[in-house]
Structure 1
Amino acid sequence: MLQTQTPNPQAELDGLYAPPSERIQSAVLEHLVDFHRQYLRQARFFCLATAGPAGLDASPRGGPPGFVRVLDDRTLAFADWPGNNRIESMRNLQHDERVAMLFLFPGLEVFLRINGHARVSVAAELLQELREGEKTPKAATVVRIDEVLFHCGKAVNRARLWEPAAQPQRCGLPSVGQMLAGFAALQTGPAATHGESASIDELDAHYVQAVRSDLYG
């Protein structure tokens, strides 16, 4: 059986890993500097981690370069745009304000990490500042930064993430339409999905339309 607890796990970790170098430690800050601002102006995508009564959640966020707005050296804001309407991140923030943000930069071998505390805002002035084209968000998340740091890109290279050859073969994976039909069968039983395969192409087409074109509701 796998042992999940030891008398002193912290001591074991300290024995396994060398401490981070002084150079790395000195780059962990409590506020943004120009290096961070330059990367945030180019940022198109990050993962947002939150915690709530039901547990932890991580979800993607994306937009045009600069969609995460720097309000000051300790504060960021970003709009909430339509997704699956579970709005787990915002619901979690009602119970626990802690957040973590992990920014990925396609083609680059570096990550940007931000940890802090956040709240949901519906302030009209902020929502106007975060609008994209003629679309104004219903809500925004405002993050107060506790810690900001750059993280090395070794994980990118281990995964060969940016190499075209690393892209999964779609023909070897179920389509969204196939999965939706399968999930429906789990809920209602196989009999309810008799003839459902005929609509899989429609489900796939609807998904492609939604994720590529219906971006702002």
Structure 2
Amino acid sequence: MSTIKTVEELRTVYKAPLERAVLKEMVGLDKHARAFLQRSPFVLIGSCAPGGRADVSPKGDQPGFVHALDDRTIAIPDRPGNNRLDTFENILGNPTVGLIFLIPGMNETLRINGTAEISTDPALLARFEHQRKLPISVMIVRTEEVYLHCAKAFLRSGLWDPSTFIERGSFPSFGTILKDQIAAEETAEELDRHLAERYKATLY
């Protein structure tokens, strides 16, 4: 056997999960999950189109930008972005989402799986006003699985260890990459400058 095709085959390769890895799963938010959300400035959102195309998109803001509306519901504001709307289009056809919340310097992550919808309710938008600007919409997620994930991936990767950080100049700038990938008429330097200007003008 080289390619695993069934759950039974998979379970012959891996050991059974530890009991605590199964028991830690909750359907809603406890005090620790709420505290994690209050400190997290970053979340990765996994979604899937009805036909099966998967996507993972990042969202970041000030710590605590994701609000717990109650023990089974969280709300994530959507700020200006690239307007591809991959996640939102997926949700309209398949509301299932998987979220991973990070806190800089902390090796554990918070995982939330559930179903999502998109809201433009004025009262809800007002809740997330920042710098006198409202989010474009708010993603509401009804939780089905909530649990803290262990630190092994972060320990192996050394993600928060400054000694692992690359010299930014050792990798092409975003403008250089765009120039190569889309054959833009602007120079790489012009693209980088325009991106920096847009970041300042449209962050919120």
Q: Same fold (TM over 0.5)?
A: yes
C-alpha separation between the residues in 2 aligned to 1:215 and 1:31?
A: 31
* Offset, 1:5: 5.2
C-alpha separation between the residues in 2 aligned to 1:213 and 1:63?
A: 16
- Aligned twin of 1:158: 156
- Aligned twin of 1:17: 14
Identity %: 37
* Offset, 1:133: 2.8
The question of whether the paired residues in 1 share the 8 Å contact of 2:49 and 2:93 is answered with yes
- Aligned twin of 1:214: 202
Question: What amino acid sits opposite 1:178 in the alignment?
Answer: T
18-27 or 68-77: which moved more? 18-27
C-alpha separation between the residues in 2 aligned to 1:17 and 1:208?
A: 47
C-alpha separation between the residues in 2 aligned to 1:108 and 1:212?
A: 28
The alignment partner of 1:77 has SS state of: strand
* Offset, 1:206: 2.1
Change in 2 beyond 3 A, CA 1:168/1:61? same
The alignment partner of 2:181 has SS state of: helix
The structure with the largest alpha-carbon Rg is 1
The alignment partner of 1:112 has SS state of: strand
- Aligned twin of 1:205: 193
Q: Does 1:36 align with 2:33?
A: yes
Describe how 1:1-217 pairs up with structure 2 within 5 A: 4=3, 6=5, 9-53=6-50, 55-185=53-183, 196=186, 199-211=187-199, 214-216=202-204
Question: What amino acid sits opposite 2:124 in the alignment?
Answer: L
C-alpha separation between the residues in 2 aligned to 1:79 and 1:89?
A: 13
The count of corresponding residues between Structure 1 and Structure 2 is: 203
The alignment partner of 2:202 has SS state of: coil
* Offset, 1:173: 1.4
TM-score, scaled relative to structure 2: 0.92
C-alpha separation between the residues in 2 aligned to 1:80 and 1:153?
A: 28
* Offset, 1:179: 1.3
- Aligned twin of 1:188: none
Contiguous gaps of at least 5 residues in structure 1: 186-191
The alignment partner of 1:107 has SS state of: coil
C-alpha separation between the residues in 2 aligned to 1:160 and 1:99?
A: 27
C-alpha separation between the residues in 2 aligned to 1:82 and 1:117?
A: 23
C-alpha separation between the residues in 1 aligned to 2:202 and 2:161?
A: 29
Please give the root-mean-square deviation of Cα atoms over the aligned residues, in Å. Answer: 1.8
Deviations 1:81-133 (A, max 9, x none): 11111011111111000000001111111010000000000111111112223
Question: What amino acid sits opposite 2:137 in the alignment?
Answer: A
